[in-house]
Structure 1
Amino acid sequence: MAGARSTLEDVVLALEAWRLKLADQFDELLCLARLKDVKRLDYQVETVQRVLRTFCGRALLADEVGLGKTVEGGMLISEYLLRGMARSVLVICPAALVGQWRAELASKFAIEAESTDEPRFRSNPEAAWASGREPRVLVASLQMARSSRHAELVRARRWDLVVVDEAHHLKNRSTVGYKLLDSLRSRFLLLLTATPVENDLEELYNLVTLLKPGQLATPAAFKSRFVEKGNPFSPRNRERLRELLGEVMVRNTRALAGRGIELPPRFAQTVVVEPSPEETALYEAVLGLVRSAGDSGGTPRLSLRTLLEEAGSSAEAVLDTARVLGREKRLAPTAIAPVLEAARAATQVRARKLGKLLELVKALDSFSPGSKAVVFTRFRATLQALSTALDAEGIPHASFHGGMSGPEKDEEVERLRTDVPVMLATDVGGEGRNLQFANVLVNYDLPWNPMKIEQRIGRLHRIGQTREVQVFSLCARGSAEERILDVLDRRIHLFELVIGEVDLILGRALEEKEFDARVFEIYERARTEAEIAAHFDGLADELSTARGHYEKVKSFDEALFRRDFEA
């Protein structure tokens, strides 16, 4: 018996020695050498090491908003890939974040990911989910992954690592999304959310159970032991709960991050310009087409929405799209003719917004000596028109858009950094690029998706920025963009929010419906200016309520978790 006991002790000691050896391997992270355009922050490095060494790759990353959970997630993906511990990685996130995740994995971690935005996932999902290079990293929208057409295909693949961004969307264990994630049985699982508790402590139980089944016992036992009767927000036995959560959760706070993440102030100003008669005529022509075509139901909604968004950008953008729609006979000649005529007329006069842009560009040094400006537009035709105007004024500038190769983009960014005062950029071109050496941002046109506005700001107002950031949003009076800015600025104070908070507020207010889709529906259905105004007031009320709820959730989570779970 003594020999048997000795043998058992030897095995236990050998296993412990092996565990410690593995832990030591993570003292030096391989992913750090691959980081690009990412400031190395101690708390993020310590978080990654803790997840690798202590949590065995299954963790709830619940940093406060703006502290870089996405960077921590990307570092962990990179580390597991570099060590050969993961060959298949699935990132699940809201649809609006798919492009951002893919772009940042490429630009910051040199990881080329696939995404469910690719047409093949809709045309032939069976082949799309089954195929793919190795190692495979796939960014999938939660909405698609949990749909009846795709869920079984997701389950059919073996995923070594699953990362869920905005994991609070899976807080209810009775939902399809929760059940899908629970069925994947991946070796490693990362849940990212700044608000792990929104309605009651049971949501926290559900998230922890995905990571480590049984960690908090059964639902009934958890409620009995850790939740005050009659108050689902109030925890009992806080010290024991803290110990159990500490085995699966990291929540870094701004107090911990301290000086490493302090940002200079940013100031935002909406610049409303009076449209010219030609611009007014164009906007009314496009709006008339949207309403009439919407009534007939024969025109693709996406084409109509694109035209209305372009009408808030430039006549050149409208003209390009209108010509394509007419040439491809997606619209009847009699329907598109008024838009074509109005667009041609509007291109013959200087856009009022262009005049304001030129004023801002010529006054750059009034903000601070050596100021650099990034002018964002959604459309290539608008960018080209702006470039022509800047050339005519003798203003040197860089251009940056999605049609450029990687080296070409790098060259234009370097020109802005060292040589020219202005860069014109499209949203697609700017994805994943950090431009914190610039300090003036001009929204020449406005994305209808508020998270896209936030992403633009985040290109400049981020760690590494040393100067005050000025944000100017240009819009024509009476346009959809003016109404959107009014709603976002007046009701949820968009430009005062920490990067990342917009999604939390919109997710609460709109659930499955995207903000931009709601805006277009207003213009499809409303027939008078009064009706449009009433619909926007209703949308503003929803956002205001959601902002209030978010502030309550934020305060509750801060009080519940305090600084007990920092790396």
Structure 2
Amino acid sequence: MTTPYQSQYFAYELTRQHSSHSIGRLSQSLINATVDLNPHQVEAALFAFRAPLERGAILADEVGLGKTIEAGLIISQLWAERERHILVIVPPPLRKQWNQELWEKFYIPSIILESKNFNEMVRSGHRNPFLQQDQIVITSYQYARNKADMLQKVNWDLIIFDEAHRMRNVYKKSNKIGRTLRAATAGYPKILLTATPLQNSLMELYGLISFIDPHIFGDETTFRRQFARGAKEMSEIDFIDLKQRIKPVCHRTLRRQVTEYVNYTQRIPITQEFMPTNTEWELYEKVSAYLQREQLFALPTSQRALMTLVVRKLLASSSFAISDTLLSLIKRLEQLLLELERGKTEIAAEHSGVYADVDEFDDTMEEWEEEEQSSYIGELSLDEMKRLIQEEKQELEEYYLVAKSIKENSKAEALLIALEKGFEKLRMLGANEKAVIFTESRRTQAYLREFLERNGYAGKIVLFNGENQDEQAKQIYEQWLEKHQHDDKITGSKTADMRAALVEYFKEQASIMIATESASEGINLQFCSLVVNYDLPWNPQRIEQRIGRCHRYGQTHDVVVINFLNHKNEADKKVYEILSEKFRLFEGVFGSSDEVLGALESGVDFEKRIQQIYQTCRTAEEIEQAFKNLQAELDEQIQLKMKETRMHLLENFDDEVREKLRDHYHQTSLHLNRMERYLWNLSKYEGAREATFDDETLSFVKEHETYQMISQAKKQERANVHHYRFSHPLAQKWIEQAKKRKLIPKEITFRYSDYEGKVSILEQLIGKEGWLSLDLLHVQSLENEQHLVFSAIDLEGEQLDQEMCEKIFELPAVEGEAIELSESVCNTLRRISQGQQEAILNEIMERASAYLDSELEKLEKWSQDLKNKLEKDIDEMTVEIEHLKREAKLTRNLAEKLEKNKQIKELEKKRNEMRRNLYDQQDEIDEQKDRLFEEIEKKLEQRTKTEHLFTIKWRIV
């Protein structure tokens, strides 16, 4: 019982633009999200819109609070508003995760831009692959820097930087990536996501904030003088000033503030030691000593360090992984000998045979900058080279035979014990008996599958790697396609769909997933609570990625983390100690490593340091000392001296935050329920001729396809069901259909007697009738806003308020006859509408005025900073001149005295010039300030337009 008038009202209410001071600003993204949103995420997204977005904001919630979801809400809202030129810049390991989460949680398609597809697009005639239609662009920091000139040519609606603490040293000349990206993204709105905006120095905060808005602080020197002397030396006035300047652009929520809404689980570590056999240890020692040699032909000098890292990873993984790697190196030496016979001494550095076994290694390669190493090849004669290569080849063949002689690995046997311990712990926790085992090597993965199947786990295992080409994977994929042919799970990307199919198989059938690094990003394994690091990476960020597949936002059980430790290997023990004690990766509450991981610019740099120790240390004493030095360095990096400053500067009082979050929780639920009701009732009316609707399950059938409202679909997983939501093409079609309809004045009877529920404010209107009109007010000022303005009276001329009219339109109703409107009724309704519109415009003007005041204050402080710097520079020069004069008086050596007086004259000349220029430069600063103020004034000019939608005669029965 919905009328076309209600349907049109619902359509405009669903699509209108709200102010960022209301939950409604996120209307479209809230009813598109497939996740249950927490109030702190809604608050963070609203904060970003209030910032306002033409410059941006720093969202600095602690790890584990879902900053990706906060950014997704912002993206989803802009997407619904047709602002779709959006770029996401992330560390390489996070690209797939963003790609997957945007689709799974918000149904937004995206493309990962990297060398391969970028070059393909250019070859096929695409002039700038960063310019995409209806796709979010995701790329890495390094690739964005490399293509900064192309990136700059797109008129971006929004740029998001994830793990943005990488940009915190942008003020330093040495930060080439940061400075390039700051220049390339200048003038575009930005959101910076980081749990650690401030780690060691207030200068880092200056770097991030200047990235967002260059007019909050003067320049680097002024900031350093005023604020960066240290929290203890800073005056209270300066500290308050700093906090006020930061407040409009930096938002931070802490885990302890949201315990009402988020349940935190623990990490429980188990260390599984193993004792390698004599043969295994002999192989390890020999290959390790081989890698430490200065002169090697099998590893090209241009990639020596990186390739050594790979070989070490495979050596620690399994004898099966290293045996085939050794064979690749032997083949390279054979190729070298062949080339020498042909008279060639230069061999291509490419060595795909070694890298082929390690998934996701491109990410490390992208961040890895190899140091130039001198080549010794040119210093050797041809015969010497042949002899040395032949000797190296024979040596590797000997190692290869040792590796091939090993039939079982002692670490694999220890895995059986570890799984028993892990599953026992899961039974105690009441969690699913499922384990994900991570290994660095696909060959080790294949061996572990075969080994576990022989030892009681036959039919319980699924593999997950970068290729997913085994027969089981193909079969699982085909069955998954058939199962989901009638729902929204199939994306059309074979890679994404294969990954989804394998995860679903693991969830519903398998007990163990053996995965390479490919599974450490972009998949959600919350149904699993046991992570086994069969091979432990040296990169702490990689380990966090792995554990984060299971131990993440929404996990309901504690997560058990098992790590393996080679009892004979001192260096391995020290690495584990650092990862466990310094980075706190394996125990504690969700995300306890955020302080520490944020201290790293890049996990790859840390990996390089570990690699250097393995390469250069030969005795237990050398290893001990090298790791002591590394720990001392980390202690300095991971220092908590800024903790107090960070707390006072970036955090709001708990009570204030909690109150706001409670209000958001209530408002979001109400708003979401209302919007979903409007979408459902509109769909029922507009789609009545095309589909059959079921109010019980909030689903409908159209052309043999079933669609279900997303809120219901979240509660009950049903196969072969499409998720119906605001952004669904059908919903968009029906909304447009309702908006375009021309409605003539008619009599509408609203049936309160048929309404399920009680609305107290409407009970007084039962039996009454009157007139009502609806206008759409467009306002362009600080933000673009639309307001639906009801004007209504009863037959006695009593006015109905806005809330009453909104409630009336939610009642079941029937359409009556067309009617004529008298001029007096029209005039009365018009007068009421104008009065309400004036009230709205006044409220918007008050907000604009408050914004103008804050912008004026900001510009005033910025210009004063710059002026103070000029005067301070003159003062400092005066101090220097006085110091030199004192020194000159005390100097008895005539030559020195003359030299110092010469310096004094030069400095006095320079100071006089600075004094003469002072007022000109200050005038220039004022002119610049005036220009910026004029830009703000233009933004605040209020432009309005009113659109009349319809008028009705109402009756409530």
Q: CA deviation at 1:540?
A: 2.2
Larger Rg: 2
Return the match for 2:79 from 75, 81, 89.
Answer: 81
Distance 2:651 2:425 in 1: 39
Q: Secondary structure at the match of 2:322?
A: helix
What is residue 525 of structure 1 aligned with on the other side?
616
Please state if 1:321 is matched with 2:385: no
Please state if 1:358 is matched with 2:448: no
Please state if 1:163 is matched with 2:227: no
Distance 2:235 2:111 in 1: 41
What is residue 371 of structure 2 aligned with on the other side?
none
Instruction: Note if contact 2:327-2:400 (Cα within 8 Å) is conserved in structure 1.
Output: yes
Distance 1:119 1:271, change over 3 A: farther
Instruction: Note if contact 2:275-2:410 (Cα within 8 Å) is conserved in structure 1.
Output: yes
Return the match for 2:405 from 336, 342, 345.
Answer: 345
Please state if 1:419 is matched with 2:499: no
Instruction: Note if contact 2:25-2:46 (Cα within 8 Å) is conserved in structure 1.
Output: yes
What is residue 316 of structure 2 aligned with on the other side?
312
Q: CA deviation at 1:307?
A: 1.7
Distance 1:101 1:406, change over 3 A: closer
Q: CA deviation at 1:254?
A: 1.8
Distance 1:129 1:250, change over 3 A: farther
Return the match for 1:552 from 636, 641, 666.
Answer: 641
Distance 1:22 1:556 in 2: 30
Distance 1:504 1:55, change over 3 A: same
Distance 1:204 1:523, change over 3 A: closer
Which 10-residue stretch deviates more, 380-389 or 358-367? Answer: 358-367
Q: CA deviation at 1:304?
A: 2.7
Distance 1:497 1:145, change over 3 A: farther
Please state if 1:47 is matched with 2:44: yes
Distance 1:454 1:354 in 2: 23
Q: CA deviation at 1:512?
A: 8.9
What is residue 133 of structure 2 aligned with on the other side?
134
Distance 1:450 1:254, change over 3 A: same
Of all paired residues, the percent bearing the same amino acid is 29
What is residue 529 of structure 2 aligned with on the other side?
439
The aligned amino acid for 1:382 is T
Distance 1:313 1:228 in 2: 48
Distance 1:129 1:440, change over 3 A: farther
Instruction: Note if contact 2:434-2:512 (Cα within 8 Å) is conserved in structure 1.
Output: yes
Instruction: Note if contact 1:39-1:463 (Cα within 8 Å) is conserved in structure 2.
Output: no
What is residue 477 of structure 1 aligned with on the other side?
567
Distance 2:528 2:611 in 1: 33
Instruction: Note if contact 1:492-1:543 (Cα within 8 Å) is conserved in structure 2.
Output: no
Distance 1:267 1:187, change over 3 A: same
Instruction: Note if contact 2:313-2:440 (Cα within 8 Å) is conserved in structure 1.
Output: no
What is residue 515 of structure 1 aligned with on the other side?
606
Instruction: Note if contact 1:107-1:433 (Cα within 8 Å) is conserved in structure 2.
Output: no
Structure 1, residues 240-295: CA drift from partner, whole Å, max 9, x if none?
Answer: 65554332222112233223333222211222211012211221232133123656
Q: CA deviation at 1:529?
A: 3.8
The aligned amino acid for 2:413 is G
The aligned amino acid for 1:373 is A
Q: CA deviation at 1:115?
A: 4.2
The aligned amino acid for 1:69 is K
Distance 1:64 1:435, change over 3 A: same
Which 10-residue stretch deviates more, 273-282 or 322-331? Answer: 322-331
Distance 1:320 1:119 in 2: 31
Structure 1, residues 416-473: CA drift from partner, whole Å, max 9, x if none?
Answer: 3233332222220342112122122211111121111111111111222222221110
Please state if 1:56 is matched with 2:60: no
Distance 2:619 2:394 in 1: 23
Name stretches of at least 5 consecutive residues in structure 1 with no aligned partner: 1-17
Structure 1, residues 354-381: CA drift from partner, whole Å, max 9, x if none?
Answer: 1121123345552143432211112211
Distance 1:164 1:235 in 2: 32
Distance 2:580 2:202 in 1: 32
Q: CA deviation at 1:82?
A: 4.1
Distance 1:310 1:105, change over 3 A: farther
What is residue 389 of structure 1 aligned with on the other side?
451
Distance 1:128 1:254, change over 3 A: farther
Distance 1:229 1:429 in 2: 43
Q: Secondary structure at the match of 2:631?
A: helix
Instruction: Note if contact 1:448-1:484 (Cα within 8 Å) is conserved in structure 2.
Output: yes
Distance 1:144 1:458 in 2: 25
Q: RMSD of the alignment, in Å?
A: 3.7
What is residue 251 of structure 1 aligned with on the other side?
252
Distance 1:415 1:138 in 2: 30
What is residue 463 of structure 2 aligned with on the other side?
399
Instruction: Note if contact 2:462-2:506 (Cα within 8 Å) is conserved in structure 1.
Output: yes
Name stretches of at least 5 consecutive residues in structure 2 with no aligned partner: 1-15, 336-350, 352-388, 469-494, 661-957
Which 10-residue stretch deviates more, 95-104 or 312-321? Answer: 95-104
Instruction: Note if contact 2:274-2:564 (Cα within 8 Å) is conserved in structure 1.
Output: yes
Q: Secondary structure at the match of 2:61?
A: coil
Please state if 1:455 is matched with 2:513: no
Distance 1:22 1:85, change over 3 A: farther
Return the match for 1:467 from 551, 554, 557.
Answer: 557
Distance 1:220 1:545 in 2: 25
Distance 1:204 1:409, change over 3 A: closer
The aligned amino acid for 1:310 is L
Q: Secondary structure at the match of 1:552?
A: coil
Q: TM-score, normalised by structure 2?
A: 0.51
Distance 1:118 1:39, change over 3 A: farther
Q: Secondary structure at the match of 1:190?
A: strand
Which 10-residue stretch deviates more, 307-316 or 396-405? Answer: 396-405
Distance 1:441 1:219 in 2: 45
The aligned amino acid for 1:472 is I
Q: CA deviation at 1:230?
A: 8.4
Q: CA deviation at 1:189?
A: 0.7
Distance 1:230 1:55, change over 3 A: closer
Instruction: Note if contact 2:266-2:559 (Cα within 8 Å) is conserved in structure 1.
Output: yes
Structure 1, residues 293-333: CA drift from partner, whole Å, max 9, x if none?
Answer: 65669534233321210111111111232333333546863
Distance 1:141 1:485 in 2: 29
What is residue 196 of structure 1 aligned with on the other side?
197
Q: CA deviation at 1:204?
A: 3.3
